[in-house]
Amino acid sequence: MTAERRVVVTGLGAVTPLGADIDTTWRRLVAGEGGAGPITVFATSGHSVRIACEASDLDRKTIRKIDRFAQFAVAAARMAEADAGLEIAAEPDRIGASIATAQGGVASLAECLRELSESQRIHPSLVTAFMPNMAAGWVSMELGTRGPLGAPCTACAASAMAVGDGYDAIKLGRAEVMLCGGSEAGITELAVAGFAAMRALSCRNGDPAGASRPFDADRDGFVMGEGAAVLVLEELEHARARGAEIYAELAGYGVSSDSFHMTEPDPLGAGQARAIGAALADAGLDPTDVDYINAHASSTGLGDAIETRALKLALGEDTLQTIPISGTKGATGHCLGAAGAVEAAFTVLAVKRDIVPPTINYQTPDPACDIDCVPDNARELPVRVALSNSFGFGGHNAVLIMRKFVDRPELQIA
């Protein structure tokens, strides 16, 4: 019988509201800093929401004529490739990519609609600028991967599912290496106005730094974020053969659907709990093995309370009280289709460095979110097993499990 193929993380890259690389982002996250501020990319006069978590700008000369969401993706992928020390050209057919998004090139679409209304003309690159799969296409073309290529578009669970798809591809032997993640550049007048009309966004315009407040009783919606993150996933023996540094093992993946509502989670938390349970079963772990959770925690009234309910259902109330849980969207805002990958990268670093990042802006406890949400300050503690939750509009649920890498994982959990 063929030995089970294990999947490890060997590279990370990111562009986020906290920094233009993963090291700066992590340093600021652990320090309790945030990336929110007034929106600068369009005039907000007359809008009910005037704040967001904007990401660092990139040198547009590097990649011409593509939407900003694809630029973010290529930049993050190049960083991850360099961090992993990959030589893609040596075996391009065995290296693939899965790059997700929720909105795709919404900025390009809005701009072309404006041009159409003014001149009755459309730029020939419109379609390839806004199509959601174009970030994945550009990553493949710019880096030269020729293996599996995917582009999940499952709202806020999309990039967690991209990582899960890469995990599956390696486990099944379809690739040796996968560059997986997501990208979003949705801070546009159209998108912000749309989410504001749904009453999904925080209107704390006078206090942008304190607007995203996961699990806090006074949370009033999420703050839109943007950026990209890419993880290099690699089959263990392949990584060993080239002497790659291993950050962590991707040990489990679980998915489910709520089948309940287009925007509201199942109020019982049952769908999310099924995804958590499936990930634990995939990893061969019990709830008591979990040392840390990076929660979806978008800072919405319903969402954070229902996620707490789901965690209790999946892990047990007594067990949950012993597990530190971060809501890192307090610092980054909600990066939509990129959020799952950004938070998966944070989870990898928590496992690698034994540091749990804080939940910032937590001031007033909510009885519906009665958890240890690591308020204000990061903690140094052993993290052997960590969950990363991602839940999206439409009832999409995805959970990733990162485990500290050891040669014999059966000896890791006492």
What contacts 238, CB < 8 A, 6 or more positions away? 176, 177
Single out the catalytic residue among 180, 238, 296, 373.
296
Single out the catalytic residue among 53, 112, 153, 156.
156
pLDDT one-digit tens code per residue, 121-175: 777 777 788 899 999 999 999 999 999 999 999 999 999 999 999 999 999 999 9
Q: Is residue 20's pLDDT more than 70?
A: yes
d(CA 220, CA 364): 13
Cα–Cα distances (Å) from 393 to 41, 126, 298, in that order, read: 25, 26, 12
Angle between helices 339-353 and 22-30 (to 10 degrees): 70
Cα–Cα distances (Å) from 101 to 107, 136, 251, in that order, read: 13, 9, 24
d(CA 39, CA 356): 29
Instruction: Determine whether 296 is an active site residue.
Output: yes
Q: Which of 378, 137, 328, 135 is nearest to 225 (CA)?
A: 328
| Per-residue pLDDT, 62 | 47
d(CA 75, CA 69): 10
Q: Is residue 63's pLDDT more than 70?
A: no
Which pair of tokens denotes residue 136?
Answer: 């994945």
pTM, entire model:
0.95
Q: Which structural domains are found in the chain, ordered by start?
A: 7-241 (3.40.47.10), 254-405 (3.40.47.10)
CB atoms under 10 Å from CB of 187, counted, come to 24
Which pair of tokens denotes residue 220?
Answer: 């009033």
Q: Is residue 1's pLDDT more than 50?
A: no
Q: How confident is the model at residue 58 (pLDDT cuts 50, 70, 90)?
A: low
pLDDT one-digit tens code per residue, 359-388: 999 999 999 999 999 999 999 999 999 999
Instruction: Determine whether 156 is an active site residue.
Output: yes
- Beta strands 292-294; 385-392: pairing state: parallel
Single out the catalytic residue among 153, 238, 334, 396.
334
